[in-house]
Amino acid sequence: MNFYKTLELILRTKLPCTKIDLFEEFYTHYKSGGVVFEESYVTKSFSEPSYVGVCEVISPKDVPKRKNLTARDGQINLLHAVAHIEYSAIDLALDAAYRFQGLPKQYYDDWLEVADDEIRHFLMLEKLLGELDAKYSDVAVHNALFEASQNTEDSFLERMAVVPRYLEANGLDATPMILKKLKKLPKNEMVSKIVETLEVILQEEVEHVKKGDVWFRFACREKNLDTEVFFEIIEKYYPRGFLRPDNLNLEARKEAGFSCSELKTMAKREVC
């Protein structure tokens, strides 16, 4: 089985169930040593995310709001929004392994492991949607995460800065706020299941950001750059990137590899 050719097939696959089946077959072969890295494989640019045709894609500002989390519709909107992030993250992890060649094997081990985690997270959320008689694709989605992969497809350094160390790290801040709201609601079985699922995802996402931190620092060393270049990259793509410094999950970010100096810049105060 060929590494890049198979990943390209998986990335182009639209139906979630088929994509997951293809990945699981590929990953089994990869872990057993049955996958060959092709030499000088020409990677492709993707003009649209794989979920086009499965989900309706709209502007981020038009995505349904996650209101009234005690009601079925509110719970579906929340679960669907998080499921879409996790589904997008599957392709982001696979694309990181597909797009950047000539790196240490540990790099590919790391991002395939992340993809495997994201699949498990997606399936956990999909199961909860099913318990609410809903499914992934029932709610319109945005393609902001796909656009981030497009913007950084020509730069390993920028990809590691933008996707794991910015976008995914923002999830470390956002998820505790969602959990706080959920834990204030009257207790019921579905709310408890959502809380339990989000807590699992939050803890495991720390490891994903940490992997991104390792490879961001690797890229900086390769280019003889100071890691403070992170802020220049984020300013390039997200000029209003750190607008809510009081909501930073400082402990999770430190665990994921952010330095006290970086956290001070983000929080605009001493934090360590």
Both tokens of 67, joined, read: 């209101």
Q: Give the start-to-end residue ranges of the domains of the chain.
A: 3-33+55-243
d(CA 162, CA 235): 10
Spatial distance between the Cα atoms of 125 and 197, rounded to a whole number of angstroms: 8
Whether 240 shows a pLDDT value over 90: the answer reads no
Contact 65, 77 (CB under 8 A): yes
Specify the fold of 3-33+55-243.
Answer: Ferritin (1.20.1260)
- Predicted confidence at residue 245, as pLDDT, reads 77
Work out the mean pLDDT of the chain and round it to a whole number: 95
Q: What is the pLDDT of residue 242?
A: 75
Q: Round to whole Å and give the CA distance between 269 and 272.
A: 9
Q: Tokens 């790099």 correspond to what residue?
A: 107
List Cα–Cα distances, 224 to 155, 193, 216, 218, in angstroms: 15, 46, 12, 10
Q: What is the pLDDT of residues 17-55, one digit of tens each?
A: 999 999 999 999 999 999 999 998 999 999 999 999 999
Please give the pLDDT value at position 234: 96
The pLDDT assigned to 254 comes to: 96
Q: pLDDT (tens digit, 9 = 90+) per residue, 69-115?
A: 999 999 999 999 999 999 999 999 999 999 999 999 999 999 999 99
| CA atoms within 13 Å, Cβ hemisphere of 50 | 24
| Triad 17, 85, 246: Cα angle to 5° | 160
State residue 13's pLDDT score. 97
pLDDT tens-digit readout, 176-233? 999 999 999 988 899 999 999 999 999 999 999 999 999 999 999 999 999 999 999 9
The whole-number pLDDT of residue 243 equals 64
Q: Which H/E stretch holds residue 160? A: helix 156-162
The string of pLDDT tens digits covering residues 147-166 is: 999 999 999 999 999 999 99
The answer for residues whose C-beta is within 8 angstroms of residue 158's C-beta and 6 or more apart is 151, 152, 233, 236, 237
Please give the backbone phi and psi of residue 206, each rounded to the nearest 5 degrees, phi first. -55, -45
Per-residue pLDDT at 244:
74
Mean pLDDT of 239-260: 88
CA 15 to chain centre: 19
Mapping DSSP to helix (H, G, I), strand (E, B) and coil, where does residue 102 land? Answer: coil
pTM: 0.95
- CA–CA distance, 188 with 210 (Å, rounded to integer): 34
Please give the Cα distance from 145 to 143 (Å, whole number).
Answer: 6
Percent of the chain having pLDDT more than 90? 89
* CA–CA gap between residue 237 and residue 179 (Å, rounded): 28
